[in-house]
Structure 1
Amino acid sequence: MKVFIETYGCSANVNDSEIMAGLLCKGGHSIARTAEEADAVIVNTCTVKGPTEAKIRNRIRQLRTDSGRMLVVAGCMAEAQTETVRKLAPEAAIIGTHKIDEIAGAIEGRTALAVGEGRVNKAALPKVSVNSGISIIQINEGCLGACSFCITKLARGNTFSYPMGTIRNSVEEAVKSGCREIWLTSQDTGTYGLDRRADLPRLLHEICNVNGDFFIRVGMMNPTLANHLLQPLIDAFKNGKVFKFLHIPLQAGSSKVLAAMKRGYTIETFRKIVSDFRRQLPGVTIATDIICGFPTETDEDFEETIAVIEEVKPDVINISRFWPRPGTTAAGMRRLPDGVVMTRSRRAHHLARRLALENNRQWLGWEGRIILNENGKKQGNFIGRNFAYKP
């Protein structure tokens, strides 16, 4: 059977889609390039934000009208909002985030519903990579947080780390196949190993010992665990194989808002992590996330966020507007007026663009080694990145 996989969301979801493709190919199926040429379509969903969910809902409705084509709904929406998916597409097979190894059964009509707790070692499963030069390797599933706004915890659960040896084997196989860039991903890379008497710095040292010319990009980690591992983590980042790229979310510059979000760290903790990384790793790229319009955010709270961003000057700022997600504590809070949220978001985006321009000007005239890892907008053009993952 020819199967098309349509993916929404983060790099962990891309990894899940690559695994589903690998499992299907191993089972004798093939991967289609478009939904039109497929016998079955898998929609690997994301449920972090309301607009994304709305887009996915519309897409599922559209696919349902295509007669004779099997539909499978997988991913975070399938896991955290199973009943919503059932009502949206009663005939679809539903595969949750913890049951990814049952995808062949869904395509072959043997599995109609597979959700709920399950512990499969995704690092050991076959894959078909989207980009032959980049290998996305998930190191653990879930997190240890309980953020009041986050539905991902409902979809991915508590931290379950994959064995270090299995992860190293995956890296070795990717490098042998010609891959030059390894993305280590999870919902919080900082929690890796806490359930296995291991940790992220030790994992990085192990992977860096793999023979070959390749680079490692470490995925997002929350400040609480990053601070706990701070010096060993910085020491691991000093290895030449590790991109000097730190993705650490701020979310809000107000201590009151952070407390309402149940983030579990202070502004000072965030400042210290960034400061120590910059002091010991000159040129490091700092990426962060902020949420505009959390229900308890006052004008004063938002000004505090702006002040912290102005002070820290991150290279990359991912800005989201607050969206109430079903099953979360924040969904029951009174929302701010849309106009207020929009105004704050626009101001944050304007600041992010200005800081990005200021930061990038410092690289004018820089010369050094880069890795070509993306196609450019024009045919024949490529995008390269340097040691700090700067394009």
Structure 2
Amino acid sequence: MEDIEDLFAGGGGAAPPGFRLPITAAVGINTTKKNKKKNNTKEEASSLLQNSSTYQVPGTQTIFLKTFGCSHNQSDSEYMAGQLSAFGYAISDNAEGADLWLINTCTVKSPSQSAMDTLISKCRSEKKPLVVAGCVPQGSRDLKELEGVSIVGVQQIDRVVEVVEETLKGHEVRLLNRKTLPALDLPKVRKNKFVEILPINVGCLGACTYCKTKHARGHLGSYTVDSLVGRVKSVVDDGVKEIWLSSEDTGAYGRDIGVNLPILLNAIVAALPSNGSTMLRIGMTNPPYILEHLKEIAHILCHPCVYSFLHVPVQSGSDAILTAMNREYTIGEFRKVVDTLTELVPGMQIATDIICGFPGETDEDFAETVNLIKEYKFSQVHISQFYPRPGTPAARMKKVASNVVKNRSRELTSVFESFTPYSGMEGKTERIWITDIATDQIHLVGHTKGYVQVLVAGPKSLLGSSAIIKITSVGRWSVFGDIIEILTEYNDIKIPSDNKDTISKERCSPCSNREDTCACESDACESNCCNIAATDSFAEAQDAPTNPSLLLRRKASSTNPIVETESSSNQKDAASYVHDHYWGLVDTALVGGIFMSLLTMVALFLYVGS
């Protein structure tokens, strides 16, 4: 299959300016032989324009964009949407009225790929032009379902406009091979204007026997520290309030270019606003690659601009199964990661993943997994059944009976749902960062420093702001709170943006009493200086998680930002909301002073008169 450079005819510059000639060497629909004699290019262009009853000017069409999978895929979709929008295309979540469908796929689990197959079949039946992107075509390019379909590889997203344009003309284009990473400064349309998903590397160093993603994303390739810091500064200037670092394995960052994760994190933290208005969330990391950096990572997680939250997949509580998975760590090493971070970081919360029914898993192996979950009572666990992925070593292993796999998944889910991670949070005062709207269209969604999901009532103008709230009630998946104070750039907590040596000496996290500060020792933060409860919402699972808490998140169109008000009006509306709903200490003092003055005056008049 030719690359797109091989698909253009003419090439001599004879075409009218801005007009792309029809492809005569395209592979797929309406192809012609390469050795066909070329007509005069000007006559060809003129003929096409005269017979343009079905011709549409490129950039005037509507593109339906559907994304499956992890946050890295979501970031890729946002980059593709940004480029298409910059060229005039309209991005829509409505498939029916679209001129072309663009599907960004995930290969982690069979259900995701089955959903992709269903969409492709529907698209074919409706005779819509189709472009498939993401991990499925990159890792399984010879799939029968992809025959006759245009394809964009995971490292070719910066050329999506070319592929879409040619597909709309009836040509099949496939771009899969590349040696360099896409630039980070491409146009981007974020699904949530306040959240930047920042890929720091692609691929990984592992070779897990069940994983298909490695086939698609390949070996580790890291972006430079300077390019990532530059992107952070740019998105902060755009008004982003949360930055999610995303990759297939965050902990492995930089090992291919001579740096490491702590070096990157310290550089990013130094670039964040000193008023704590923008928060950093560190992405998923496997245990082997952070064991040697635990203390440095703990120092960074203590910083007020970094959520005290980390996703560390364990996958199984059995060393025998971890060996079969080729996970390259033991349960003892996983425990060391969890125990160290929990000890050194106040309010530290860790999410994890479990695969039930991996080939060879015995009842004893599964019991070890259940006991591990019971012991740590993780507030966030992504539980999935084993799905054999074609081409992986695990697909050739002897499988556990499907009914046994389902029963184990149900049992572990029941154990996890028996926990009450937020009990005891009622009445606590926390700082939150508000970035989204709940599906009920009434509550706003914010997160504490421990990334606990908090639902508050208030106007949409509060989106993108930070606030002090009092927790009024708790649920299984989130907590509810009342807003006490909206923090602006003038009353945000000031924090340093120095190197890691100063981080551990400052506030570790917003305490229940805003006048208190969290004192950290040189190597460990005092575990009792802040009382932040368990985390809840988490959106960086390898596939769409089944966590009901995520149902509270509003599904927003990438072409319609959820808020369009300016920051000045946000602060005005927010201040008005708090004033209308809460009787502050200053108000009480003023009224009390006026009342006492009146009493004093009356007493003086009575005394003089007598």
TM-score (norm 1): 0.96
The offset of 1:124, in angstroms, is 3.0
> What does residue 92 of structure 1 align with?
149
Asked whether the equivalents of residues 121 and 162 of structure 1 are also in contact (C-alpha less than 8 Å), the reply is no
Residue among 124, 131, 134 paired with 1:72: 131
| Whole-angstrom distance in 1 between the partners of 2:293 and 2:124 | 48
Asked whether the equivalents of residues 190 and 226 of structure 1 are also in contact (C-alpha less than 8 Å), the reply is yes
Asked whether the equivalents of residues 217 and 245 of structure 1 are also in contact (C-alpha less than 8 Å), the reply is yes
Q: Share of identical aligned residues, percent?
A: 39
The AA in structure 2 aligned to 1:265 is Y
SS at match of 1:370: strand
Q: Does 1:199 align with 2:260?
A: yes
Q: How does 1:1-391 map to 2 (within 5 A)?
A: 1-67=61-127, 69-84=128-143, 87-109=144-166, 112-212=173-273, 213-355=277-419, 357=420, 359-391=421-453
Kindly provide the CA deviation profile for residues 328-361 of structure 1, in whole angstroms up to 9, marking residues without a partner as x.
0000011111110011000110111123x2x221
The offset of 1:251, in angstroms, is 0.3
Kindly provide the CA deviation profile for residues 15-42 of structure 1, in whole angstroms up to 9, marking residues without a partner as x.
0000111222233433234222221110
| Whole-angstrom distance in 2 between the partners of 1:211 and 1:244 | 16
The offset of 1:365, in angstroms, is 2.6
| Whole-angstrom distance in 1 between the partners of 2:428 and 2:291 | 31
Kindly provide the CA deviation profile for residues 117-162 of structure 1, in whole angstroms up to 9, marking residues without a partner as x.
4322342322111100111111100110000000010010111001
Kindly provide the CA deviation profile for residues 164-201 of structure 1, in whole angstroms up to 9, marking residues without a partner as x.
11111211121111111111100000011111111111
Asked whether the equivalents of residues 99 and 118 of structure 1 are also in contact (C-alpha less than 8 Å), the reply is no
Asked whether the equivalents of residues 102 and 111 of structure 1 are also in contact (C-alpha less than 8 Å), the reply is no
The offset of 1:114, in angstroms, is 1.1
The AA in structure 2 aligned to 1:174 is V
The AA in structure 1 aligned to 2:350 is I
Asked whether the equivalents of residues 158 and 182 of structure 2 are also in contact (C-alpha less than 8 Å), the reply is no
| Whole-angstrom distance in 1 between the partners of 2:126 and 2:158 | 26
| Whole-angstrom distance in 2 between the partners of 1:48 and 1:362 | 37
The AA in structure 1 aligned to 2:298 is I
The AA in structure 2 aligned to 1:137 is L
The offset of 1:385, in angstroms, is 0.7
SS at match of 1:123: coil
| Whole-angstrom distance in 2 between the partners of 1:362 and 1:137 | 34
Asked whether the equivalents of residues 251 and 291 of structure 1 are also in contact (C-alpha less than 8 Å), the reply is yes
The AA in structure 1 aligned to 2:118 is N
Query: Which sections of structure 2, spanning at least 5 residues, go unmatched?
Result: 1-60, 454-610
Asked whether the equivalents of residues 137 and 153 of structure 2 are also in contact (C-alpha less than 8 Å), the reply is yes
The offset of 1:211, in angstroms, is 4.2
- In our comparison, the structure showing a higher alpha carbon Rg is 2
| Whole-angstrom distance in 2 between the partners of 1:324 and 1:116 | 26
The AA in structure 2 aligned to 1:361 is S
Kindly provide the CA deviation profile for residues 72-115 of structure 1, in whole angstroms up to 9, marking residues without a partner as x.
0000101111111xx21433201111222221121011771111
| Whole-angstrom distance in 2 between the partners of 1:362 and 1:343 | 32
SS at match of 1:55: helix
Query: Which sections of structure 1, spanning at least 5 residues, go unmatched?
Result: none
| Whole-angstrom distance in 2 between the partners of 1:232 and 1:190 | 12
The offset of 1:317, in angstroms, is 0.5
Change (3 A) 1:149 1:122: farther
Change (3 A) 1:382 1:257: same
| Whole-angstrom distance in 1 between the partners of 2:223 and 2:438 | 34
The AA in structure 1 aligned to 2:444 is F
The AA in structure 1 aligned to 2:214 is K
| Whole-angstrom distance in 2 between the partners of 1:117 and 1:252 | 35
Asked whether the equivalents of residues 2 and 32 of structure 1 are also in contact (C-alpha less than 8 Å), the reply is yes
TM-score (norm 2): 0.62
The offset of 1:283, in angstroms, is 1.2
The AA in structure 1 aligned to 2:157 is I
SS at match of 2:382: strand
SS at match of 2:378: coil
Asked whether the equivalents of residues 157 and 182 of structure 2 are also in contact (C-alpha less than 8 Å), the reply is no
Q: Give the helix-richer structure, 1 or 2.
A: 1
Asked whether the equivalents of residues 271 and 312 of structure 1 are also in contact (C-alpha less than 8 Å), the reply is no
Asked whether the equivalents of residues 383 and 409 of structure 2 are also in contact (C-alpha less than 8 Å), the reply is yes
| Whole-angstrom distance in 1 between the partners of 2:182 and 2:295 | 29
The AA in structure 2 aligned to 1:51 is P
Change (3 A) 1:211 1:334: closer
| Whole-angstrom distance in 1 between the partners of 2:341 and 2:76 | 31
| Whole-angstrom distance in 2 between the partners of 1:340 and 1:211 | 49
